[in-house]
Structure 1
Amino acid sequence: MSQHHRQIFRRSALGLALGLCFTGGVQAQTNTAGAVTGRAVAGDTITIENPATGFSRTITVGGDGSYRLSQVPIGQYTVTRKGTDGSTSTRNASVSVGTSANVSFVSASGDAQTLDTVTVIGTGAINPIDVSSVESTTILTAEQIAKIPVQRDATSVALLAPGTVRGDAAFGNLASFGGSSVAENQYYVNGFNITNTFQNLNFAQIPFEAVAEQQVKTGGYGAEFGRSLGGVINMITKRGTNEFHAGGNIFWEPEDLREDGKSVYMTDGTLFEDNSKDSQWQAVASVWASGALIKDKLFAYGLVSFGRRENETFNNNQILTNNSARTETPNWLLKMDWNVTDDHLLELTAFSDKQETDSDIFLNDEGVLNRKDFLGTAFTEQGGDNYVLKYTGYLTDNFTLSALAGHSVFSRAQRLRTAGGLDVSYGGDINVPASGCPNIVDLRPGYRQAIDGTRASTCNLTGANITRRDAEDTRDQYRIDAEWQLGDHLLRFGVDVDDFESVDGGSFEGGRIFSYRTDNGPDDEPNTGDEVDFVREQIVNQGAVVKVEQKAYYIQDSWNVTDNFIAYLGARWDSFENLNGQGQSYVEIKDQFGPRLGFSWDVNGDSTFKVFGNAGRYALPLTATVAVRGASASLFTRQEFFYTGFDPVTGAPTGMTDISDGSAPGERGPTSSFRYVNGEFGTAKNPQTIAAKNLDPMYQDEYILGFQKALNDNFAIGIRAIFRDLKAAIDDNCDYTAILTTEGFEQQDDGRWLGPDGRFAALPNSGFPYCRIFNPGADAVFLTDLYGDGNLKETTVPGALLSPKAKRTYSALEIFFDGKWDKLFLQGSYTYAKSKGNTEGGVKSDIGQADTNVTQDFDYKELAVDSYGYLPNDRRHSLKLFGNYEITDEWSVGANLIVQSGRPKNCLGVLSPWPSPTGTHPYGSSFFRCNGVPTPRGTEGRLPWTRTFDLNVAYRPNFAEGLQFKVDIFNVFNSREVTSVNEQVEDASSGARLDLAFLPLSFQAPRTVRFMVQYDF
């Protein structure tokens, strides 16, 4: 072989190996399969075959010397070229989800290869170079994930990708992508959407042992994907082959090797929460089998998994209960594949992710870690069954069609049972509150409690809301996707229909919450004997069956302008409609346009150096949760009482008399304190009044520019710059005075509003909701029943009267690399990022508010004052390194290091003076001001850097093939830095600084050890 041909071969081999291993290609931008592309001599025939399944396709090379086989199931393939002269050449290719495996049989100059016996094998190593891609994508296979010390869930794997950070602990185990909130991502399994659209804060959890590949899209994804401003997690499950396989494993995290929980102290050093006795252990066992029911035709993969986790949780603050919880996950998955013919495939995916948690609640003495009387058990359910059927047809050499239909059910039910056997639950009827003992909260200053004792319940089980006993979500999804190769143009187009229904509702346990309070005047001086204790009763009952109907059309063209340059043009039209509990539409947005543009330049023509860029617009629908209280019938009341005592068991006040204006304690005046907070009792809201008539969806523009370079056969590096700009947000506004002042109303001394025609406004009522959905900063067109007479008046409220414009930008520079050697693979990234604005997005990490799309950010325009700054998901620096080294054929070691700078802190306090009975704004400690001084967002410093180092060791004895032992140690150095704090630092009524100011709310997870034993044959 001449030196010239050696160089050509090395470049071609490297380009092939890199193209087979990593990142999704625009030319194969499908969420279930990949593609095989390349060049050969015109008229040659190309055959790909997967020996494990018998899947085979043959195509003739076009006149321009290029070929493409689309919608290829992931796996290992033999690619055979048969020339017109009878010569043959063979290559091996590894196809991953969303990638184009480039297998060429001609040199870079276009001459036919003479080395017909040369085979290049894709090793499966992670490598960022794919010259057909404009996406920012990471793919990890099951084999790679098994070698890395990482928790076995989709979020933990996604956090290995550049540009991702862990979200606030208040929302569970979720990731933030590119500065977006954790409620702005989408999740898929085998092409089926498993996102829980109720709040966008959950998704179906398939048994992780069944995952073959996980694809993480952090930006630049094409028009096929939508309904996301953050990222996309796409999982492909394992499938059966002609060879029978079976096995089992068990993962065990023992309690004795888990470090103690970290205790919480107040700012004055007083112990607030003693977590030293908390404990946890968990184990998951799985068995599986796969094989051919009919060789080369019908295959099955089945898995059954059972997990159990036990938690013992104590505390020593004013909560008088502790609990012992058991969580069981009896899960399963079945994947069926039928090669009906070489041109027609059917797939069935079915799985269950049911999770059941039973929490036994016990009494304890205040401030003591003991366990006394058994109170009862709380039963919660999560997850359900999912069924997906998909058809793929290779109708011609150039046209492929796929169709998918899926159905899923996700339970969120909750019920309680007292120690005496009494069932406590909520059925969702707003006129029938939940049963059980009421919630009790004692908000009186400490010196009052020292005199009178703490008001508390000894029979309430949860101290919170309980979800209705039949709460669940149902999804029905249908989509058709087509791919058509027309010369230099690869067209993809399709339609996606996604209907989501939620049965939801909630009520305080016992039907109400009693909060004991003290009217201590304008100061917080010690007891002088003239303070007045009172109690507020609050009732919130809500329940409805609500829907979100979504539809999208898309078309995209990947155009090979030259052999080295690809232009990508795409367009997507999204339609969203939200229905309330009465089946009435209250938000409808049609054909929201989302353009996508991109390019990829193979600079050297050998897949070793790529320059790429893209720009796109992405829209997000309104979640289903908004309709349950905001747009459906609900009850929300408040009433204040004087009282003479309290029940020592239930904690409920006794001897109650209604507080009235100007009355002395114990006397009932002419005006009752009873009031409806959001609409009339049991009355459904008028759907026309819930949202602005000119509402736009939440949407964002994104721009990415970067390059990737292979430095040698084993190492590649890339750099990309990213900018995201939120153009419109959806939230709610609760300051109805903006509507009244616009309409010429004037407020009277008694608080009522007098209209220009001499009539008083009737508010709130079914047509005059307390809060309305709008685009912050934009002029809003509202319909309102001003006088309660059923007549709706259209009012255009200037945006300046409601709130400033919603702003959120994300700018980042990502540097990432991949290396693969004989015994070592290593991947890493460094991200420098800034996330800045006046809204986080769908949720609000500042206060842990999970009311997706209706946070308090823009309820009153005063809440947005000084709110612009660095946002909660701003992690300025992120360093990630992970990999594995095979010491011998039997022993290997893996490591995972994540180092990140801390999030910014805020100081939230009251707004005073304010024209209200208390002298402060009714939203309490929610404003960016402390001690009466503005404290703009993010100016209270930052939380500490976090450093997590994980390590594992695996042993695969040669004497027992298929047997493996592994030990993972997470957080080896037991770093326990604070990851979130209480940013509401002032008392909501008096404005006095709280002892709980900046109280730690979450820490890094403690050091844990996980053992695994597995046998596979």
Structure 2
Amino acid sequence: MTINTRSNRQRRKALALAVALCFAAGAQAQTNTAGAVTGRAVAGDTLTISNPATGFSRTITVGGDGSYRFAQLPTGQYQLSRNGGAARSVTVNVGTATGVDFAGDATTLDAVTVVGSGVVNPIDVSSVESATIMTEAQIDRLPVGRDATSVALLAPGTVRGDNRFGNLASFGGASVAENVYYVNGFNVTNIVKGLAFSQIPFEALAEQQVKTGGYGAEFGRSLGGVINMITKRGTNEWKFGGNVYWSPDSLASGLRFAYDPQRDGSYTVEEGGKRDELRYNLYASGPLVKDRLFVFALYQGQKNDEGQIFEGGSGMIKEDSPQGLVKLDWQISDDHSLELTAFRDTLETDTVTYLRTAGDLGLGGGTENGRSYAKTGGENYVLRWNGYITDNLTLSALYGRGEYSRGATDTNSAKCPLVVDARSSAAVGPLGVQGCWIGTGQVADANAGDVRKAWRFDGEWALGDHLIRFGLDREEFSTVDGSVYTGTDYEPETPGGVYWRYSNVIAGQVLPGNGAVVPGGITEVVRLRYFENGGSFVTRNSAWYIEDNWSVTDNFLAYLGIRNESFTNLNSLGGAFIDVKNTWAPRLGFSWDVRGDSSLKVFGNAGRYYIPVYANTNVRLAGSELDYIEYYTFTGIDPATGAPTLGTKIGDRFYTGDGDVPDPKAVVDNELTPMYQDEYILGMQLALSEKWSLGLRGIHRNLKSGMDDVCDGTGAQKWAVANGYTPDEAEAIRDAIGHCFLTNPGNDLSINADLKGDGKLVRVDVPASAMGYPMAKRKYSALEVFVERSWDEKWSMQASYTWARSVGNTEGYVRSDNGQDDAGITTSFDFPGLMDGGYGYLPNDRRHSLKVFGAYKLAEEWTLGASLLVQSGRPYNCFGVYPDSGPNPTAGNYGAESFYCGYYDPETGGGDYASYLKPRGTAGRVGWAHELDLRLGYEPKWAPGLRLSVAVRNALDSKDYYRVQDARDDGTAGAPLSTYLHPRGFVAPRTVTFSVQYDF
């Protein structure tokens, strides 16, 4: 017999490549806390997997079809042996199925040296989803911010969100409020507004998985992405250590803001703000009982001093963040384990504000104004059981409880009302102009906060060519919330404060809200707004799912899943105003291992995704809310508070909220559907060599049902009169909608109205054509290309380019163009006129994104890391007041919220309203943003365990920015604002961070 050695070498190389790539593969068929090892062997083989670090060991017998699976494995390094032979090293990451195939000549396979672990976007023929996995070791080599969002922003398809919402990422065109966050399997997303989540101390992170699309039926409650964090755990070896990260303000270029002292539309970029940050960690891990009970414990301290400069003054901020985490793992037996995670993420912020004196742009200059204190975060506990019932069946159960505080106080909330001077003659800085109010101008309930209680149960059952996964979960989210304007002692009629806004007007102008006409000779007016709301609320979400990963052939995997979700929201009196049951979210996908050696994968998926109705909707729509405005002529300013000395009242008081808790049936559409979208992905991944891979993904997301409130019932009133309702009944229908009504905009409306004035609600179905609202639309299309070289102890690199297009008439749960964080009840659909020109390019339409990051070992002890982001700018708008000559004049009640720009310009006095329409995203685009970060690491051989590094963020000190001021006109009277198109959201200034770490 002739032996073809070349053919054998080729097969051997292909086999090595397949195993190497599988070693970092991410499989959809895994839970959100563990991984698995799978493959093929000879029927009847005995396979043993063990973790020397924890003493874990499990043995199974290969079934008759030759396939095997070790499921529900905690992340870590394992040893895998066949029939008592030599063991092989296997790496298990979160959500991955590491493939090791013993079929054929196992002796030859065991001789193959496997390289190529540590990839970010691996070729995984057992998965149909789009996921990025970053381990602690990978993160430590890069100059990436040490927080979950900064790591997520490395993934293709993610862009930085508007900084007014915090440090958050947008996934696939969705708003930053539509992501879901997990810690060790526990959902830690704060669903009041979706803009916060409980965060572990970053040094406790072992791995972070970022799912950007196509995720399976196990995951829901997200239209954006999934950030899945896994913490470190103890082993049989006691380890201790600590580190310090210090970013001195003396080496920072300074926080930036745009300042216009002349109020003429020009601006100067000032760089006076500073930030000095110190973070330190102490940690220990080891066995409390060898091979059985392990502990990992970490304490994090943080002392930050920041100076912020703004137009009216400056603020000196001190942050204290005592945080910690404890993880206990009890290996009850090789078949059952119990783990407890407890962590605290409290952040306390103390701020002293100063009012600017003329010409003083310095920190802490001028007059001390007051002090504010805020506390966020809280304590979280997660208990999880894992059980291997048989070789083919695993089960898990979880219970979690989390707290999140949102309390804040300040010294000026009683005496100082909120004052904004938007007149062209306004001065900046003196006490008599803007007043002594602090922060946002709103005072939160001192007890504001949230508690989540959740449980879930999951199972996995291998049945021949089918891997069946199933589960169910339920969470209850309790919220205490409420706010009033600052100046609580100022308004004698009510317990809250007021918001004063001074504006220029022209005689004969119709004022937004009360519809009063500005008298002759009046050029300046004062608007008073009073607002208070609050209460205690409960939100309940539940779901069950089942999915099948079906190996149709050895090369082709079909994925079929279904998720069923229910959502219940209660008002402040405990009544259900939203009770949606049995939403169906199918998930379908395939993965084709084209060559049969994991070197070329073609995959695709289609799925439907729902998101809950956030608790902010409970607070704003189903609580007690009193909201009204009044207008006065402007005569002067009280020098003690900045409040006006009032002249003549103009028109009547205008209410948008009467202070009562509405009937649950009167505020929500009877046929309401929670917001959901459909997603389609088609992609391929190709192994170029043992270390290099290339990927391509096409993505399309389509919002199928938006959810928002509508506040204009005039169309319904006209329809009612035309269809036989009496004038009084038609007016009742109008009023039922006019107090703001939650629905799916653009669909038929189903309301409950008090038609006879006797307190009895009657269902009325109003056709969509009568309301005049368009369907909520958001479409995202993208093409992602990425190339990657895996770490081989010398260097690694990933580069990705994303072309994306995001169009529609709603961004989603929040609005980046006007900074509104009212999740689920934005101003977008309040009046039909506000949607004129509303379809266009959305704020997350960042057309081009280039990301390059990697690390290079300069020498045995030195490593250089780098990260480059180049991104095109987002579109901006020209917001103005809706013209009173338009077909929906009541839309002018909302001030500068329409796409009609400049209609009330005092120089023109208005004109043909249609000529002032500037459709969404057509006013221009922000310039490109560039950011280069660098890191130099040093691990001296003469001091084992010691690691030193210096990282430079924004090394080239880019002065680029991510957004501009979109409001061209003043919201009260429509006069031009000098701040229009001023830069906002600058790229973070250059900072230098030194770190020292020692482990022993």
Q: TM over 0.5, yes or no?
A: yes
Structure 1 residues 843-876: Cα deviation after superposition (integer angstroms, max 9, x where no partner): 1111111111111111111111111111110111
Report the equivalent of 1:779. Answer: 748
Greater Cα shift, 272-281 or 69-78 = 272-281
| Contact in 2 for aligned 1:322/1:363 (Cα 8 Å) | yes
Report the equivalent of 1:359. Answer: 351
Greater Cα shift, 111-120 or 791-800 = 111-120
Deviation at 1:472, TM superposition (A): 0.4
Report the equivalent of 2:493. Answer: none
Name the aligned partner's letter for residue 282 of structure 2. V
Q: Secondary structure at the match of 2:101?
A: coil
Q: Secondary structure at the match of 1:32?
A: coil
Instruction: Note if 1:548 corresponds to 2:539.
Output: yes
Report the equivalent of 1:290. Answer: 285
Alignment partners' CA distance in 2, 1:453 and 1:1010: 37
Structure 1 residues 478-529: Cα deviation after superposition (integer angstroms, max 9, x where no partner): 00000001111000000011111111000101111222345431589xx999
Q: Secondary structure at the match of 1:947?
A: strand
Deviation at 1:675, TM superposition (A): 3.6
Change (3 A) 1:463 1:603: closer
Change (3 A) 1:627 1:786: farther
| Contact in 1 for aligned 2:257/2:309 (Cα 8 Å) | no
Instruction: Note if 1:442 corresponds to 2:425.
Output: no
Report the equivalent of 2:151. Answer: 157
Match of 1:949 among 932, 937, 948: 932
Deviation at 1:118, TM superposition (A): 5.1
Alignment partners' CA distance in 1, 2:75 and 2:49: 12
Deviation at 1:714, TM superposition (A): 1.3
Report the equivalent of 1:57. Answer: 58
Instruction: Note if 1:258 corresponds to 2:259.
Output: no
| Contact in 2 for aligned 1:534/1:642 (Cα 8 Å) | yes
Q: Secondary structure at the match of 2:150?
A: helix
Deviation at 1:828, TM superposition (A): 1.6
Alignment identity in percent? 48
Match of 1:961 among 937, 944, 953: 944
Q: Secondary structure at the match of 2:898?
A: coil
Match of 1:481 among 447, 455, 458: 458
Match of 1:685 among 630, 638, 662: 662
Greater Cα shift, 273-282 or 399-408 = 273-282
Alignment partners' CA distance in 2, 1:536 and 1:269: 23
| Contact in 2 for aligned 1:558/1:569 (Cα 8 Å) | yes
Report the equivalent of 1:38. Answer: 39
Structure 1 residues 195-227: Cα deviation after superposition (integer angstroms, max 9, x where no partner): 011101111111000100000000010000001
| Contact in 2 for aligned 1:258/1:1006 (Cα 8 Å) | yes
Alignment partners' CA distance in 2, 1:21 and 1:759: 66
Deviation at 1:273, TM superposition (A): 6.8
Change (3 A) 1:917 1:796: closer
Name the aligned partner's letter for residue 136 of structure 1. S
Q: Secondary structure at the match of 2:87?
A: strand
Alignment partners' CA distance in 2, 1:248 and 1:4: 52
Q: Secondary structure at the match of 2:9?
A: helix
TM-score computed with the length of structure 1 as normaliser:
0.91
Aligned length: 964
Instruction: Note if 1:12 corresponds to 2:4.
Output: no
Q: Secondary structure at the match of 2:256?
A: coil
Superposed, 1:88-237 pairs within 5 Å as 88-107=85-104, 111-114=105-108, 116=110, 120=114, 123-237=117-231
Change (3 A) 1:255 1:116: closer
Match of 1:323 among 304, 307, 315: 315
| Contact in 1 for aligned 2:53/2:237 (Cα 8 Å) | yes
Report the equivalent of 1:701. Answer: 678
Superposed, 1:469-618 pairs within 5 Å as 469-510=446-487, 511-521=497-507, 530-531=521-522, 533-618=524-609
Name the aligned partner's letter for residue 531 of structure 1. I
Alignment partners' CA distance in 2, 1:737 and 1:803: 12
| Contact in 2 for aligned 1:181/1:841 (Cα 8 Å) | yes
Deviation at 1:813, TM superposition (A): 1.0
| Contact in 1 for aligned 2:508/2:520 (Cα 8 Å) | no
Alignment partners' CA distance in 2, 1:442 and 1:116: 76
Greater Cα shift, 6-15 or 66-75 = 6-15
Structure 1 residues 405-462: Cα deviation after superposition (integer angstroms, max 9, x where no partner): 00000000011235xxxxx5xxxxxxxxxx332122234442xx58999953554333
Name the aligned partner's letter for residue 461 of structure 1. I
Alignment partners' CA distance in 2, 1:257 and 1:758: 70
Instruction: Note if 1:308 corresponds to 2:278.
Output: no
Alignment partners' CA distance in 1, 2:135 and 2:888: 62
Alignment partners' CA distance in 2, 1:454 and 1:762: 47
Deviation at 1:260, TM superposition (A): 2.6
Alignment partners' CA distance in 2, 1:101 and 1:452: 62
Match of 1:929 among 870, 876, 900: 900
Report the equivalent of 2:388. Answer: 394
Report the equivalent of 1:670. Answer: none
Alignment partners' CA distance in 1, 2:407 and 2:803: 42
Report the equivalent of 2:912. Answer: none
Q: Secondary structure at the match of 1:859?
A: coil
Alignment partners' CA distance in 1, 2:99 and 2:734: 64
Q: Secondary structure at the match of 1:740?
A: helix
Deviation at 1:558, TM superposition (A): 0.3
Deviation at 1:580, TM superposition (A): 1.0
Alignment partners' CA distance in 2, 1:304 and 1:514: 46
Q: Secondary structure at the match of 2:18?
A: helix
Change (3 A) 1:606 1:113: farther
Instruction: Note if 1:412 corresponds to 2:406.
Output: yes
Report the equivalent of 2:490. Answer: none
Name the aligned partner's letter for residue 749 of structure 2. A
Alignment partners' CA distance in 1, 2:227 and 2:403: 20
Q: Secondary structure at the match of 1:350?
A: strand
Change (3 A) 1:333 1:440: same
Unmatched 5+ stretches in structure 1:
419-423, 425-434, 661-672, 747-753
Deviation at 1:658, TM superposition (A): 4.4
Name the aligned partner's letter for residue 32 of structure 1. T
Match of 1:345 among 337, 346, 356: 337
Unmatched 5+ stretches in structure 2:
488-496, 511-517, 903-914
Structure 1 residues 672-706: Cα deviation after superposition (integer angstroms, max 9, x where no partner): x234222x3x3111110111101111111111111
Alignment partners' CA distance in 1, 2:233 and 2:613: 35
Structure 1 residues 811-866: Cα deviation after superposition (integer angstroms, max 9, x where no partner): 11111121134401111211111111111111111111111111111111111111
RMSD (Å), alpha carbons: 2.6
Report the equivalent of 1:793. Answer: 762
| Contact in 1 for aligned 2:503/2:972 (Cα 8 Å) | no
| Contact in 2 for aligned 1:244/1:291 (Cα 8 Å) | yes
Deviation at 1:534, TM superposition (A): 4.3
Alignment partners' CA distance in 2, 1:758 and 1:850: 36
| Contact in 2 for aligned 1:258/1:1008 (Cα 8 Å) | yes
Report the equivalent of 1:912. Answer: 883
Report the equivalent of 2:910. Answer: none
TM-score computed with the length of structure 2 as normaliser:
0.92
Deviation at 1:945, TM superposition (A): 1.0
Structure 1 residues 76-98: Cα deviation after superposition (integer angstroms, max 9, x where no partner): 0000110xxxx624221000000
Instruction: Note if 1:461 corresponds to 2:438.
Output: yes
Alignment partners' CA distance in 2, 1:615 and 1:920: 39
Report the equivalent of 1:750. Answer: none
Greater Cα shift, 385-394 or 911-920 = 911-920
Alignment partners' CA distance in 1, 2:997 and 2:562: 47
Name the aligned partner's letter for residue 830 of structure 2. D
| Contact in 2 for aligned 1:783/1:793 (Cα 8 Å) | yes
| Contact in 1 for aligned 2:170/2:844 (Cα 8 Å) | yes
Alignment partners' CA distance in 1, 2:116 and 2:341: 28
| Contact in 2 for aligned 1:440/1:463 (Cα 8 Å) | no
| Contact in 1 for aligned 2:431/2:641 (Cα 8 Å) | no
Alignment partners' CA distance in 1, 2:457 and 2:519: 74
